[in-house]
C-alpha cells in the first residue's frame, strides 16, 4: 500500500513538473508574439504616416501650383500655360521682365516694333472720332495689333495747332486742334516723325505749338524742332533691356525757310545726306537697333526714285538697321540691303476720307538681334481703317514692285537667296 502511494506521489510530481515547464515555455514565447504584433502595428502605422505625408505633399504641391497660377495675371495665363520648354522644364511664372523697361506682356526676349505711314487727322475723321471714339475709326483687330506693339511709330503729316497763318500758294495745308492728340494716345502711338512737307503749313508758331502739344501728351518726336540741334536729335527708347534709336528727316521741303537752323524752328533736311549719316553713326554707338524714317519720293508713284535706293543704302552703311519711307501716299516696294529691310513707302495709315489699301509693318527683333518683317494688310474707307480679309492680291502686287524679296500669304517678308 505504501508503495502504491509513493508511485502516485511521484506521478503527481512529474505532472506538476511538466505543467511548470509548459507554463514557462508559454511565458517565454509570449514576448516574441507581442513583439511581432507590435512590429506589424508599427509597420502599419508607418504606412499610414507615409500615406498621410504623401497626401500632405500632394496637397501642398497643388496649393503651390494654385498660388502660382493666382500670381499670373489673367492676360498672361495663356503664356504661362505654354511656358513648358522642349526639355520639359517649366518656366517659373514669376520670372517677369524688368519692370523699369516698360515691357509689354510678351516674351521679353522678343521686341515688336510697328510702323504706320502718313497720318492726317482731317475734320471729317475727327467728327467720326467725336461720335464714337477710337473704335469708330479703327477696326478692333487693328487696334489690338497697334496697341500690342512695344513701340508704334507713324508719320504725323500736319501740325497740332489753331495758331498761325496758312502758307500762301500751297495747294494743301493741314492742321488739327491740339485736343485730338488723344487719338494718337488711343491708337497706342509711341513716337512720331514730323519731318515732312506739311509740318509747317501754318508757320513756325504752329510748329512750336505742335511740339508743346506732343510734349504735354508724353509723345516723343523726331525730324523737327525749335532749332537744328533738336530737329536732328536721336531719340532713344529702351525696351526689354535694348536701346532703339529713332531719326527722322525729309527730302521734300517746300521752301528753304522750313529748314531748321541754329536758332530757327524747322525740319531736319536730308537733301545732302551727310548730316543724316553722321547722326545715324552717332545713334549706332549707343543703340542696339537704329531706325531711319525718311520723307522722300514722288507722290502716287509706286516705284522709288533711284536716289531713294542710293540714300537708303548709305543709311544702312552708316549703321541704320531699318529704313522706313513716307510721302508717296501709296505703297512702294521693299528691298533688303546687307540683310537690312528698306520700306520705301508705307503709304497712308490714317488719312481722312482717303480710300485705299495699305499695310502696317511689324519688325520682330529676336534675342540674338535677328529681325523679321511682317506686313499687316489694311483697307481704308469713309474715315475708317479695317483689317483686310483677303490680302493675297495686295501682297502679290507688293511683291511685284519690290526688289528681290518674297511675301508669303501671311505677310511675312524674306529676302530671296542670292
Mean pLDDT of 249-268: 98
Mean pLDDT of 112-132: 97
User: Is residue 293 pLDDT above 60, yes or no?
Assistant: yes
Domain 111-415, CATH: 3.60.21.10
**Grid coordinates given for 224:** 523737327
Q: Convert the pLDDT of each residue in 141-154 to its tens digit.
A: 999 999 999 999 99
Could you tell me the residue ranges of all domains in the chain?
Answer: 1-95, 111-415
User: Is residue 125 pLDDT above 90, yes or no?
Assistant: yes
Q: What percent of the chain has pLDDT over 70?
A: 73
Check: CB of residue 327 under 8 Å from CB of residue 195: no
Check: CB of residue 255 under 8 Å from CB of residue 284: no
pLDDT at site 57? 38
Q: Convert the pLDDT of each residue in 327-360 to its tens digit.
A: 999 999 999 999 999 999 999 999 876 668 999 9
Q: Which of 134-165 are b and which e, b meaning 16 or more Cβ less than 10 Å from the residue's Cβ?
A: beebbbeebbebbbebbbbbbbbbbbbbebbe
d(CA 219, CA 230): 15
Give the residue, 233 or 52, on which the prediction is more confident.
233
How sure is the predictor about 172, in pLDDT bands with cuts at 50, 70 and 90?
Answer: very high
pLDDT at site 11? 57
**3-state SS assignment for residue 357:** strand
Q: What are phi and psi of 349, to 5 degrees?
A: -105, -35
Give the residue, 63 or 300, on which the prediction is more confident.
300
d(CA 329, CA 346): 8
pTM of the model: 0.75
Amino acid at each position: 500500500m505504501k508503495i502504491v502511494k509513493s508511485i502516485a506521489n511521484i506521478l503527481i510530481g512529474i505532472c506538476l513538473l511538466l505543467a511548470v515547464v509548459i507554463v514557462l515555455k508559454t511565458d517565454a514565447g509570449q514576448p516574441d508574439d507581442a513583439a511581432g504584433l507590435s512590429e506589424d502595428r508599427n509597420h502599419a502605422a508607418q504606412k499610414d504616416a507615409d500615406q498621410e505625408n504623401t497626401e500632405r505633399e500632394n496637397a501642398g504641391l497643388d496649393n503651390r501650383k494654385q498660388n502660382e497660377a493666382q500670381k499670373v495675371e489673367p492676360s498672361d495665363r495663356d503664356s504661362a500655360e505654354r511656358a513648358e520648354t522642349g526639355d520639359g522644364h517649366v518656366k517659373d511664372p514669376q520670372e517677369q521682365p524688368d519692370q523699369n523697361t516698360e515691357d509689354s506682356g510678351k516674351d521679353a526676349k522678343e521686341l515688336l516694333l510697328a510702323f504706320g505711314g502718313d497720318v492726317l487727322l482731317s475734320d471729317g475723321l475727327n467728327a467720326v472720332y467725336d461720335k464714337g471714339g477710337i473704335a469708330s475709326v479703327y477696326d478692333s483687330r487693328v487696334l489690338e495689333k497697334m496697341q500690342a506693339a512695344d513701340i508704334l511709330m507713324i508719320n504725323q503729316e500736319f501740325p497740332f495747332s489753331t495758331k498761325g497763318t496758312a502758307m500762301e500758294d500751297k495747294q494743301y495745308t493741314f492742321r488739327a486742334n491740339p485736343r485730338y492728340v488723344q487719338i494718337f494716345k488711343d491708337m497706342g502711338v509711341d513716337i512720331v516723325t514730323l519731318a515732312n512737307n506739311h509740318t509747317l503749313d501754318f508757320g513756325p508758331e504752329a510748329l512750336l505749338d505742335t511740339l508743346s502739344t506732343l510734349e504735354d501728351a508724353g509723345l516723343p518726336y523726331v525730324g523737327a524742332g525749335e532749332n537744328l540741334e533738336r530737329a536732328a536729335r536721336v531719340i532713344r527708347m529702351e525696351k526689354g533691356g535694348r536701346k532703339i534709336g529713332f531719326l527722322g528727316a525729309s527730302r521734300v521741303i517746300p521752301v528753304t525757310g522750313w529748314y531748321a537752323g541754329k536758332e530757327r524752328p524747322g525740319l531736319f533736311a536730308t537733301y545732302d545726306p551727310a548730316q543724316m549719316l553722321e547722326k545715324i553713326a552717332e545713334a549706332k554707338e549707343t543703340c542696339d537697333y537704329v531706325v531711319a524714317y525718311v520723307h522722300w519720293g514722288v507722290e502716287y508713284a509706286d516705284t522709288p526714285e533711284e536716289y531713294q535706293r542710293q540714300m537708303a543704302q548709305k543709311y544702312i552703311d552708316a549703321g541704320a538697321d531699318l529704313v522706313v519711307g513716307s510721302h508717296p501716299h501709296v505703297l512702294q516696294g521693299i528691298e533688303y540691303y546687307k540683310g537690312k529691310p528698306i520700306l520705301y513707302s508705307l503709304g497712308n495709315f490714317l488719312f481722312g476720307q482717303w480710300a485705299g489699301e495699305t499695310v502696317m509693318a511689324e519688325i520682330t527683333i529676336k534675342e540674338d538681334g535677328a529681325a523679321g518683317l511682317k506686313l499687316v494688310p489694311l483697307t481704308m474707307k469713309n474715315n475708317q481703317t479695317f483689317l483686310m480679309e483677303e490680302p493675297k492680291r495686295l501682297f502679290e502686287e507688293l511683291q511685284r514692285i519690290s526688289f528681290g524679296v518674297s511675301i508669303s500669304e501671311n505677310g511675312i517678308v524674306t529676302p530671296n537667296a542670292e
